[in-house]
Amino acid sequence: MIKKILIANRGEIACRVIKTAKKMGIKTVAVYSDADKNALHVKMADEAYNVGPSPSNQSYIVVENIMKAIKDSGADAVHPGYGFLSENSKFAEALEAAGIAFIGPPVNAIEAMGDKITSKKLAAEAGVNTVPGFMGIIADADEAVKISSEIGYPVMLKASAGGGGKGMRIAWNDLEAREGFQASKNEAQSSFGDDRIFIEKFITQPRHIEIQVLADQHGNCVYLHERECSIQRRNQKVIEEAPSSFLDEATRKKMGEQSVALAQAVNYASAGTVEFIVDGDRNFYFLEMNTRLQVEHPVTELITGIDLVEQMIRVASGEKLSFEQKDIAMNGWAMESRIYAEDPYRNFLPSIGRLSRYQAPLEISEDTRAIRNDTGVYEGGEISMYYDPMIAKLCTWAPDRNAAIIEMQSALDHFELEGIGHNIPFLSAVMDHPRFISGDITTAFIEEEYPDGFEGISLDEKRTELFACIAAMTSYLRETRKRQISGRMRPAGAPYESRVVQINNSKFDVTIQSIKGGFNVALGNKTQHVETTWRPGQTLFAATIGGAKIAANVTAFSGGEIIKYRGSTSKVSVMRSDVAHLLDLMPVKLPPDTSKLLLCPMPGLIKTVNVEIGDEVQDGQALCTVEAMKMENVLRAERRGTVSKINAIAGDNLAVDEIIMEFE
Ligand code: ADP
Ligand code: ADP
Ligand code: MG
């Protein structure tokens, strides 16, 4: 058995691997870049080695640096996690040459599956359904147009070396095929150093459903059912679940068996994932095989009870699988929400900064429900610009899909994150969305349901009343404590003199009465019974209101409370009635006019400024390019105008909302 594992990765996945290694009594070695010297995975491991400066291409993905850490630590095996070196066959070869066990598949399997064109050919030979298309390299734009029209629009242009959603474009006509070909080629060259492009049919209204496979070095291979990952933005997954609400037993079996056939065709050993795209008639087509542990593997672990990392370690040690296909359970339903440092109100652009607050819901594992949270961060830690902006993977499990969704809604309500932009409001909104709840989802879900981007969930009458009630309660409890401190405590049971709660354009008169075991909150002409143990200073308000359990985020400001709950954020004022009366007479303060300014939408580096002072720009014209988290974003003019001032030059690092240029 392996004795000491070096984890060639960072963040949540490094922590995840360390947990299982510890459980198995195996020693662990972390590697870290300069930016990560205080990271959680470093604290969790038995030993840790610095492998270089912060950018991953100078540390985590430099094979020699990792090889040196292996030598220095005396590790006898390496787990690569996902991303970084996990699908790098040169790294696997270097390990083999050094006699170190690679906790992953054999070199030839990584090579065969690492290329989308090669893997598609192999899949077709192994009897796996593939997306109709042209399995060759496209020479130029003319050929791209010719082949696209032969396949029939819409088509998808893809980088053969692609991954992480990069180098991919949809084309609906000849013009888009021509333009998309060049754009994909450029992106593929800059991201992967390999500009080979191929074209396949774009499957409309598809679902992304993938099969987890597990094989040993003795020719045994099983599938651990499917995961559905249709909720995607920019072709990248955000919410995953297992099983899929769409598959029937026969389709599941066919997909599972084809996946096993493909794995066996390349003598696969270890855990791997075969990704499919499934159309509305349950026709399924092979997309690619990921020869590594997948980000969303926890949902499979939750329904099968199998620890995939443990199995990968056992397989790499040469053990045989201890179970057969018929032994693999499919129990209940699991959901995963990827919590990202990205701003859903700004088209999901990455956000960086310090986690001034990070409190995850308690992990539990009971007979009828479970909550699991995989993370690599802690309160006070920093989300840097160097790596993937994923903060945590929050998973819930329950006997059926509806119950798993309800668990997730509540778990998200209890997640407290401050200091950075994050997507919890968006995840909550999806978990509350009737179409998501019904299971009627496709990879176009986010685009179709939030065509203008996510703007937050507006307050309906019920939620307005809920927010008013919460703000009244918290202000009451804050005032009560102030009175206690100043020794001006009122006699028990005396009614809280009435207050006015204002939320958007609604106003309520409230009175609160403390009674045995709770409070009576009279809001207008409705009275609710509220029970809570909330204390001033806490940022999570958990309570039972009118019999229903709720948890909301609360932050006081002078004059009221900012409340965040299930995708809605609102500033609620609480005041004495005489103040409310005077407020009506105050002029309304208008927000500043930013229509003549170009603001930096995210923290980033100015790559180019394309205009000069005095230039007249047209609607849609590129003004400048900002690079953030390895993505280049072109900022365009929203209307015609003349540039009057430019505040930034190429090479400047700007914070969010800094003014890049001004117009007349
Ligand atoms: P999964 O299907 O497990 O989500 P992805 O293909 O989205 O896998 O990639 C997993 C992680 O690795 C992501 O965080 C992604 O950013 C990173 N990644 C994968 N392949 C590449 C690549 N070729 N270039 C850059 N990052 C990649
Ligand atoms: P990556 O290596 O970036 O993960 P994939 O080939 O797995 O690339 O595709 C990523 C996502 O893009 C899929 O999950 C799916 O949503 C979409 N996609 C890929 N190919 C097609 C296709 N032919 N038709 C429709 N959607 C596709
Ligand atoms: Mg993929």
Q: List, in sequence order, every residue forming a beta bridge with 544; answer none if it has no partner.
A: 531, 549
Ligand nearest to the CA of 297: 1
pLDDT tens track for 405-454: 999 999 999 999 999 999 999 999 999 999 999 999 999 999 999 998 99
Which atom number of ligand 2 is nearest to the Cα of residue 200?
Answer: 23
**pLDDT attached to residue 614:** 94
Mean pLDDT of the chain: 93
Residue 324: CB partners within 8 Å, gap ≥ 6? 220, 222
Per-residue DSSP letter, 57: G
Q: How far apart, in Å, are the Cα atoms of 601 and each of 1, 419, 521, 636? A: 51, 17, 42, 12
Q: Which atom of ligand 2 is nearest to the CA of 165?
A: 3
Residue 64 is inside which H or E element, if any? helix 63-73
Ligand at minimal distance from the CA of 276 is 2
Low-confidence ranges of the chain (pLDDT < 70): 486-497, 629-630
Active-site pick, 275, 288, 416, 561: 288
> Active site includes 288?
yes
> Rounded to the nearest whole angstrom, what is the distance from the C-alpha of residue 605 to the centroid of ligand 1?
23
- What's the pLDDT tens digit per position in 181-192? 999 999 999 888
Which residues, in sequence order, are CB contacts of 175 under 8 Å at separation 6+? none
Q: Which tokens sit at 115?
A: 């290329």
The arrangement of strands across the sheet holding 659-663 comes to 597-599, 659-663, 641-646, 616-617
- In contact, 69 and 31? CB cutoff 8 Å: yes
Helices 89-98 and 107-114, interaxial angle, to 10°? 170
Backbone angles phi, psi at 43, to 5 degrees: -65, -35
Task: Reduce the DSSP state of residue 596 to 3 states and report it.
Answer: coil
What DSSP assignment string belongs to 227-249?
EEEEEEETTEEEEEEES-SS--H
CB 169 within 8 A of CB 180: yes
Pocket of ligand 2 (CB under 6 A): 131, 156, 162-165, 200, 202-203, 206, 208, 232, 235, 275, 277, 287-288, 443
CA of 418 to the centre of ligand 2 (A): 33
The residue among 21, 429, 37 whose CA lies nearest residue 29 is 21
Identify the pLDDT of residue 589: 75
Token pair listed for 310: 């443990």
Q: Ligand 1 — pocket residues by CB below 6 A?
A: 82-83, 163-164, 236-237, 290, 294-295, 388
Q: What is each CA distance from 133 to 111, 439, 557, in whole angstroms?
A: 22, 29, 58
Return the ligand 2 atom nearest residue 275 CA: 7
| Among protein residues, the one whose CA lies closest to atom 2 of ligand 1 | 294
Q: E strands of 244-352, at which residues?
A: 270-278, 284-290, 333-340, 342-343, 349-350
210, 277, 290, 446: residue to mutate for ligand 2 pocket, most atoms within 8 A of CB: 277
Residue 163, SS3 per DSSP: coil
CA of 499 to the centre of ligand 1 (A): 53
Burial of 200 (0-12, 13-18, 19+ CB in 10 A): buried
Looking at residue 504, its amino acid is: N
Task: Name the H helices within 115-173.
Answer: 116-125, 141-151
Q: How far apart are CA 29 and CA 41, in angstroms?
A: 9
C-beta of residue 377 within 8 angstroms of C-beta of residue 353: no
CA dihedral (625, 444, 371, 210) positive or negative: negative
Contact predicate 644/664, CB 8 Å: yes
Q: Which ligand is nearest to the CA of 159?
A: 2
Q: CB under 8 Å to 47, separation ≥6 — which residues?
A: 27, 28, 29, 30, 73
pLDDT at residue number 269: 98
Q: Tell me which ligand sits closest to the C-alpha of residue 208.
A: 2
Calpha distance 254→435 (Å, rounded): 27
Burial class (CB in 10 A: 0-12, 13-18, 19+), 636: middle
Q: Which mutation among 168, 295, 300 tests ligand 1's pocket best, with the greatest number of atoms within 8 A of CB?
A: 295
- Which of 120, 130, 153, 168 to probe ligand 2 with, by most ligand atoms within 8 A of CB? 168
Per-residue pLDDT at 493: 44
Q: 31: part of which helix (H) or strand (E)?
A: strand 27-32
| Two structure tokens written together for 1 | 């058995």
Residues 6 or more apart whose Cβ sits within 8 Å of residue 619: 637, 638, 639, 640
Q: How many helices (H) and strands (E) does the chain have?
A: 17, 40
User: Which residue has the CA at smallest separation from atom 13 of ligand 2?
Assistant: 235
* pTM over the 0.85 mark: yes
Q: What is the pLDDT of residues 493-539, one digit of tens each?
A: 445 668 999 999 899 999 999 999 999 999 989 999 999 999 999 99
Query: How much is the pLDDT for 577?
Result: 82
How confident is the model at residue 490, as a pLDDT? 55
CA gap 89, 111 in Å, rounded? 6
Please give the distance, rounded to the nearest whole angstrom, from the Cα atom of residue 619 to the centre of ligand 2. Answer: 32
Bridge partners, residue 560, by sequence: 557, 573
- Give the dihedral of Cα atoms 648, 649, 650, 654; nearest 10 deg: -20
Q: Identify which of 369, 226, 250, 247 has the alpha carbon closest to the alpha carbon of residue 299.
A: 226
